[in-house]
């Protein structure tokens, strides 16, 4: 895997969960916010018991998401922050105004101008990314087209993913390639399929990048990333992408287009029939889970 983040020492601290201001130090939030010249940055600035205080600087919009296990409180310091809710309601916060979003509520934040806000949440809060607009009417398209929210530069990154797929085939692997782009538009990491050469059935580039992101990026940064891939992710990779909290996926080929590109009788490993049996031994199996989820 090529990790471009490691090549940018000045940007290394963007993508971790370290607290900026340790206990018993003065947190100069105005200075920290004024140092940001990107469209989106998010920092853990303070820790309070099991919770943390985040400072976010943004212009634009986040992905729809929810926190299933933690409320989230926003306090605006500068600009105006809009919080869209899945039911169509929109909350607008000006400097000095705050609002709590209860756990489980689907929402997104956005700002037409530069906005600076504090966010208070559980340090271990999990983020579920909602990949589709919850208010949109679903439509079936074949072949699929790039959605209206496609951003400038998408095709350039897709062409790089396709080039990585070609490199994978040339190396003797399956023709798939992917790259992960950060909120500021820089490529963070890229990879290609290595199922054959590394004898690894999980060697899909999307899965490898999702695992990399889960280790290297904080939740807020991951939410602002885009994964570009030469083909629509399989079910295994799609689940890993969701668990890693990546905010957006842009693909070239759709999964339902692949059969037309394969010769008749070509192997389809995802179609292998497996016999699953269960559930069983409920009272014994539940013991490790009792109390784990609160």
In the predicted structure, residue 7 carries a pLDDT above the cut 50: no
Tokens linked to 10 = 């000045």
Query: From residue 218, how far is each of 46, 87, 270, 292 by CA, in Å?
Result: 15, 28, 32, 24
Q: Known catalytic residues?
A: 206
Closest to 237 (Cα-Cα) out of 187, 189, 197, 177: 177
- What's the pLDDT score for residue 145? 39
pLDDT tens digits for range 158-180: 999 999 999 999 999 999 999 99
Query: Token digits for 155?
Result: 């095709």
Please give the distance of CA 183 from its chain centroid, rounded to a whole number.
10
Peptide bond into 279 cis (omega under 30): yes
Residue 49: which pLDDT band, with cuts at 50, 70 and 90? very high
Q: Which of 267 and 40 is assigned the larger pLDDT?
A: 40
What are the counts of helices (DSSP H) followed by strands (DSSP E) for the chain?
Answer: 6, 14
CA dihedral 62, 68, 69, 74 (to 10 degrees): 30
Residue 85 has pLDDT above 60, yes or no: yes
Distance CA 150, CA 8 (A): 27
pTM score, whole prediction: 0.54
CA end-to-end span of the chain: 38
Q: Out of 116-120, 131-135, 232-236, which region has the weakest mean confidence (pLDDT)?
A: 131-135
Instruction: Give 154-202 as a DSSP string.
Output: HHHHHHHHHHHHHHHHHTTS-S-EEEEE-TTS-EEEEEE--TTTTT-TT
Q: What is the pLDDT of residue 144?
A: 38
Confidence of residue 152 (pLDDT cuts 50, 70, 90): low
pLDDT score, position 123 = 84
Instruction: Give yes or no for residue 17 having a pLDDT over 70.
Output: no
Backbone angles phi, psi at 129, to 5 degrees: -85, 130
């Amino acid at each position: 895997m090529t990790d471009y983040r490691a090549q940018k020492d000045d940007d290394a601290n963007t993508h971790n969960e370290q607290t900026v201001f340790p206990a018993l130090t003065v947190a100069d939030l105005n200075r920290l916010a004024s140092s940001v010249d990107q469209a989106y940055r998010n920092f853990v600035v303070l820790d309070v018991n099991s919770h943390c205080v985040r400072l976010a600087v943004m212009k634009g919009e986040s992905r729809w998401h929810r926190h299933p296990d933690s409320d989230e409180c926003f306090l605006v310091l500068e600009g105006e922050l809009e919080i869209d809710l899945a039911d169509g309601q929109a909350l607008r916060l000006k400097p000095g105004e705050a609002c709590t979003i209860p756990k489980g509520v689907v929402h997104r934040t956005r700002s037409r101008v530069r906005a600076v806000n504090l966010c208070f949440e559980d340090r271990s809060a999990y983020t579920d990314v909602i990949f589709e607009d919850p208010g949109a009417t679903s439509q079936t398209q074949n072949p699929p087209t790039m959605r209206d929210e496609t951003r400038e530069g998408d095709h350039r990154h897709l062409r790089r993913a396709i080039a990585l797929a070609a490199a994978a085939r040339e190396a003797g692997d399956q023709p798939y390639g992917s790259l992960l782009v950060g909120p500021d538009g820089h490529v963070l990491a890229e990879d290609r399929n290595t199922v054959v050469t590394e004898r690894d059935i999980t060697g899909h580039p999307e899965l490898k990048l999702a695992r990399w992101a889960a280790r290297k990026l904080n939740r807020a940064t991951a939410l602002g990333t885009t994964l570009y891939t030469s083909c629509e992710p399989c079910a295994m990779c799609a689940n890993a992408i969701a668990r890693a909290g990546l905010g957006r996926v842009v693909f070239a080929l759709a999964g339902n287009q692949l059969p037309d590109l394969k010769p008749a009788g070509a192997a389809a490993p995802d179609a292998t029939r497996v016999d699953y049996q269960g559930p069983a031994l409920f009272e014994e199996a539940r013991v490790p889970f009792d109390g784990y989820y609160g």
